[in-house]
Amino acid sequence: MRIRIPVRGRAAKAWAWPLLVAVAAFARGQSPNSVTGPQVLDRVVAVVNHQPILWSDILNEMRFAILDPNEVGGTLTPQRALQQLISRALIQQQIGQEDATASKPSDANLQVRLDEVRKELPACVRVNCASDEGWQAFLKNNGLTVEQVQNYERLRMEILNFIEIRFRQGIRISREETEAYYHDKLLPQYANPSQAPPLSAVSARIEDILLEQQVNVLFGNWLDNLRKQGDVEVLDASLEPGPDSSRGNSKVE
The CATH number assigned to the domain holding 20 equals: 1.10.4030.10
Residue 3 counted as domain residue: no
| pLDDT tier at 7, thresholds 50, 70, 90 | very low
Would you say residue 245 lies in a domain? no
Question: Residue 214 sits in which domain range?
Answer: 9-239
CA–CA dist 207, 36 (Å, integer):
63
pTM of the complete model: 0.71
Q: Residues 149, 67: contact at Cβ < 8 Å?
A: yes
**Is residue 249 assigned to a domain?**
no
pLDDT-based confidence at residue 116 (cuts at 50, 70, 90): very high
The CA radius of gyration of the chain, in Å to the nearest whole number, is 22
246 within a domain of the structure (yes/no): no
**pLDDT surpassing 80 at residue 230:** yes
What is the tens place of the pLDDT at every residue in 48-95? 999 999 999 999 999 999 998 777 666 789 999 999 999 999 999 999
